[in-house]
């Protein structure tokens, strides 16, 4: 074989190898085994929900690149609708679920969070009616309109008239405001993970649990996202 022939043969083999690798990567991408998956989450889902789901998914799909981003609920909805996020974790209900699909993944009780110096901190057998006239710290309507509206309805239905309402932009800020003595808050039990000094946590009967859901666009065709959703569905019993 001439020098020119040897060079041609090497180049031909390289081209065949590239083609073989391209076909294999295309197959893996179609099966959701490679690719980039963009996941949004609220902070209070990070402790209980995200770690076990990610661990289980990575066990079966170790080559998928994960891009996890903390976003507030309203931000996530916009990013999911625009295609900038593939899936998100947020609290229900949604005021405008148009074009979105939700999968309930986790429930947790609501608790009452109070400043240690608050008059209700030592009240035995607390009930909703005892909260009438108190100052409240609530989650921002702008950042989670469905969640905020549901909480407002709970207070209204119970005949509770807050002396004042202070809005917090996120759950950590809400906890800080409670610790600072600004007001009391009805919030998901997972806020206890912030472990802020000066905050008392009490049970409050008669409340429906808080629900965390996976949200994605209707008609999603991202293979890695679909694989993640299947994996998450298989773990729903883990959180019950």
pLDDT tens for the 240 residues of the chain, in order: 676 556 555 665 666 666 665 555 555 555 566 688 999 999 888 778 899 999 999 999 998 999 999 999 999 999 999 999 999 999 999 988 889 999 999 999 999 999 999 999 988 889 999 999 999 999 999 999 999 999 999 999 999 999 999 999 999 999 999 999 999 999 999 999 888 899 999 999 989 999 999 999 998 888 899 999 999 999 888 776
Whether the predicted model's global pTM rises above the 0.85 cut = no
Q: Report the pLDDT value the prediction gives residue 31, as an integer from 0 to 100.
A: 59
Q: Report the pLDDT value the prediction gives residue 148, as an integer from 0 to 100.
A: 92
Q: Report the pLDDT value the prediction gives residue 237, as an integer from 0 to 100.
A: 80
Q: Report the pLDDT value the prediction gives residue 198, as an integer from 0 to 100.
A: 92
Q: Report the pLDDT value the prediction gives residue 26, as an integer from 0 to 100.
A: 54
Q: Report the pLDDT value the prediction gives residue 96, as an integer from 0 to 100.
A: 84
User: Which residues touch 178 (CB under 8 Å, ≥6 apart)?
Assistant: 113, 114, 115, 137, 184, 185, 196, 199
Q: Report the pLDDT value the prediction gives residue 8, as an integer from 0 to 100.
A: 52
User: Which residues touch 131 (CB under 8 Å, ≥6 apart)?
Assistant: 112, 120, 155, 158, 160, 184
Number of alpha carbons in the 13 Å side-chain half-sphere of residue 96? 8
Q: Report the pLDDT value the prediction gives residue 239, as an integer from 0 to 100.
A: 72
Q: Report the pLDDT value the prediction gives residue 13, as an integer from 0 to 100.
A: 66
- Kindly list the distances between the CA atom of residue 191 and the CA atoms of 8, 32, 45, in Å, as whole numbers in the listed order: 66, 34, 10
């Amino acid at each position: 074989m001439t020098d020119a022939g040897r060079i041609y043969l090497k180049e031909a083999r390289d081209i065949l190898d590239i083609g073989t690798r391209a076909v294999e990567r295309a197959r893996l991408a179609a099966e959701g085994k490679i690719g980039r998956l963009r996941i949004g989450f609220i902070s209070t889902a990070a402790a209980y929900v995200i770690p076990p789901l990610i661990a289980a998914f990575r066990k079966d799909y170790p080559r998928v690149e994960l891009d996890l981003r903390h976003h507030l609920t309203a931000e996530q909805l916009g990013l999911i609708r625009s295609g900038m996020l593939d899936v998100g974790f947020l609290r229900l209900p949604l005021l405008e679920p148009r074009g979105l699909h939700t999968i309930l993944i986790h429930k947790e009780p609501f608790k009452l969070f109070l400043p240690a110096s608050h008059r209700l901190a030592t009240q035995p057998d607390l009930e909703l009616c005892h909260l009438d006239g108190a100052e409240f710290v609530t989650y921002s309507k702008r950042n989670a309109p469905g969640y905020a509206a549901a909480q407002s309805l709970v207070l209204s239905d119970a005949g509770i008239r807050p002396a004042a309402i202070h809005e917090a932009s996120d759950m950590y800020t809400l906890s800080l405001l409670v610790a600072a003595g600004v007001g009391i808050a009805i919030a998901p039990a997972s806020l206890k993970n912030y472990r802020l000094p000066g905050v008392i946590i009490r049970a409050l009967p008669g409340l429906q649990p808080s629900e965390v859901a996976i949200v994605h666009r209707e008609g999603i065709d991202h293979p890695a996202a679909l694989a993640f959703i299947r994996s998450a569905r298989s773990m729903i019993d883990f959180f019950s």
